[in-house]
A and B are shown apart, each in its own frame.
Chain A
Amino acid sequence: MSEERFHLPPLARAGHASHCKRCLSGLPGSQSEVDASKLALSFYCIGSLDLLGAMDTTSQTDRQSWKDWIWEQQTKGRHGSGFRPSSFMTPRPGLGSSETYTEYDTPHIIMTYTALLCLSILRDDFLKLDRAGIINFMRACQRDDGSFSIVPGSNETDLRTLYCAFAISHMLNDWSGVDTTRAAAFIASCRTYEGGYGQAPFCEAQGGTTYIAIASLHLAPQLQKPPLTLVERQSTIHWLLQNQDQSGGFCGRTGKDADACYCFWCGATLEILDAKHLIDANSLVRFLASCQFKYGGISKAPGETPDPYHTYLSLAALAMYPPGQDVAHNEAASWRIEPIDPLLNATKETVKWAREHIPA
């Protein structure tokens, strides 16, 4: 299939960048759900611009105001410091807001991870980062079973939060906030007979959580290397590759329909496992090309509505799996994406900045 030539439309770079800029400038009321995860949405938008090499098409004023807003989400209090999703639970000052957060607007571990990445993309100097507070916050989030809750004291937990704690520790170059041994045991308990990982013990193998599990195991320097046995590695690679279906896209679970985001989750995991060369990249590109929305943005499947999440993850997948030289003569330039670090999920330049500026 990959040997055959196929017509490849250009990657609509300007359209995808506009889609993200539009979201950054405002969302309709029907998107109120974003209140509780605004920083993650900001990361998908700003991250898409970074992958497209389009940060210099944004104004210095915009970049400064994004930074200011993100820093405003850093809060401190009795569980330590970190970033909240947005100020959706914070009343206007003067009406009784206090210096420290309440139990209802604490930092959120996923948002803290995305905030560090956003600020790295914006090349912030991190002078305002409360590192010690973040370490305390992660300690407050880790549970007895090794997993992490989204906010301190909550029972809501799954592998996503564990990855965020690991990524934050990696960026801080300080692992004193997490018990990696207990965390690794939790990851192991999520492994399934199919070769992937579920989001909690006993759950079905899923592409996103498999990325989370494998990336986490590779982020922690103190865990044994390689973290998987030969047999485990083979079965994970097998399951991941099995998820590429006839559309060329990847599905998240055995037998489900392909979804653009799993081109990243499965594709990045394969890269981490050093098995990148086994993917049929041209078919993956063809699928993502068909997910482009004609007015900009990329959707989960052809004909669906685009959003920053699928736009970002599709571009991130393309950063690892560009079309081969055999298919992309005319449009090759349009498909060039900035190289990505598959473990932290940001461009290599941004990760370099993070590693140089986030540690104490």
Chain B
Amino acid sequence: MPSVSRNSQSPLDTPPLFSERPEWSDITPLDQYEDANPVAPIFYSADYKDATDYFRGVVKTGEKSERVLDLTERVIRLNPAHYSAWQYRYETLIALGSPLDVELKLMDELAVKFLKTYQVWHHRRLLVTLTRNPAPELKFIATSLKEDAKNYHTWSYRQWLLAYFNDEDLWQGELDFVEMMTTQDVRNNSAWHHRFFVVFQSGLREGETDRARVIKRELTYVKHNISLAANNPSAWNYLRGILDANNIPYADLGEFVKPYATSPQDLPVSDLVDLENPPPAKGAELPCAPAIEFLADIYEKQGGQDGLRQAAELWRSLADEHDTMRKKYWEYRTRDALKT
């Protein structure tokens, strides 16, 4: 059973060269064309030269058979960026009517092995577009993110999958999923971005149509997370994103933001817990730059001499003390605001 031998090939096995296998003797291996002086010639390993010689030979004859799946897998394992091998493999799978779930199983292994290669993910998209069975993919993605929680291809694939199939059941677990990811690492911007995509960029799903309630839920979520880790730009960007997307004035968040833009010794001691405005966690390093900036934006918007004076004071504290890397930027903001 060729499909079994294909999948049982462990990465540690070094299979015999194709030129040494009698069952390949009918194929003429084709050398790569190369003139006398190629730029950056690669000193190919014997394995790679053998596999690609046979691959060029097979492409020449146009053969699409089970053994071509073995051959293309070999080429891909030696060079996962070999997009022609991927393309030919895909066409061969289609021509043979191969079971795509078997192929996906192999991809489970290769995706993790070659996490940063475009082609692994591209191939997977093509397969799932045909199987039209996206649900198991969510679980696969969750597993894959365990290897690298911020892998760009993995997250892009999840976003594509959800948007492409746009199936009510698929979306259902997304907020819980994001919450799990931000609980593991509250600074994982990919998770925050994904949440924004799910809540604000993917249409109105059942249970999400009461937008006032959704916005309140999101504000509560992000404020809670800022209270846990005040100096987390991902959460502050998310907060700004909610407000910008829904035309909510930043000033509405003034009460919440102020304690984060204040030195701890200046904070009033209170036993009352305001659920709308969760205070910074004990020991938080305050004031934090994103909060100072946010507060300055409120004052700038408020305008007038008083507003601009207060904004300028905050920008100066960023420039001189709390965010000196961006000193020139804060000075520019000050000049820009005073100009108008």
Q: What A residues does B60 contact at CB under 8 A?
A: 91, 96
Complex Cα distance, B28 from A65, in Å, reads 31
Chain A residues closer than 8 Å to B28, beta-carbon distance: 95
A92 adjacent to B41 (CB under 8 Å): no
Q: Which residue of A lies closest to B245 (CB)?
A: A193
Residues of A within 8 A of B80 (CB): 33
- A305 within 8 A of partner (CB): no
Instruction: Contacts A204-B152, A204-B193, A241-B329 given; indicate if A92 touches B31 (C-beta within 8 A).
Output: yes
B32 touches A32 (CB 8 A): no
Q: A91-B56, A194-B237, A204-B155 are in contact. Are A32 and B40 (CB under 8 A)?
A: no
Contacts of B205 in A (CB 8 A): none
Q: How far is the CA of A91 from the CA of B197 in the complex (A)?
A: 46
The 0/1 profile, CB within 8 Å of A marked 1, for residues 82-121 of chain B is: 1110011000000000000000000000000000001100
The prevalent SS among residues of B at the interface is helix
Knowing A87-B32, A254-B189, the reply to whether A202 touches B241 (Cβ < 8 A) is: no
Contacts of B193 in A (CB 8 A): 192, 194, 203-205
Residue in A27, A96, A97 whose beta carbon sits within 8 Å of that of B40 in the complex: A27
B301 contacts partner chain A, Cβ-Cβ < 8 Å = no
Q: How far is the CA of A242 from the CA of B236 in the complex (A)?
A: 12
Q: Note all chain A residues with C-beta closer than 8 A to B190.
A: 204, 253
Q: Which secondary structure characterizes the binding site on chain A? A: loop
Closest partner residue, chain B, to A204 (CB atom): B193
Kindly list chain A residues whose C-beta atoms are within 8 Å of the C-beta of B42.
Answer: 26-29, 31-32, 34-35
Question: In the complex, what residues of B have CB within 8 A of residue A102's CB?
Answer: 59
Q: Does B211 contact A (CB under 8 A)?
A: no
Interface residue? B171 (CB, 8 A): no
Contact yes or no, A155 B125, CB < 8 A? yes
Point out residues on A near B: beta carbons under 8 Å. Answer: 1-2, 23-29, 31-38, 41-42, 45, 65-66, 68-70, 72, 86-93, 95-97, 102, 104-105, 150-151, 154-156, 192-194, 198-206, 239, 241-242, 244-246, 248, 253-256, 277-280, 283
Q: 8 A–B contact pairs at CB < 8 A?
A: A35-B81, A38-B40, A91-B31, A91-B56, A95-B30, A254-B192, A255-B234, A277-B332
Q: Which residues of B contact A (CB under 8 A)?
A: 28, 30-45, 48, 52, 56-57, 59-60, 78-84, 87-88, 118-119, 122, 125-126, 150, 152, 155-156, 159-160, 163, 187-190, 192-194, 196-197, 200-202, 232-234, 237-238, 240-241, 244-245, 324-329, 332
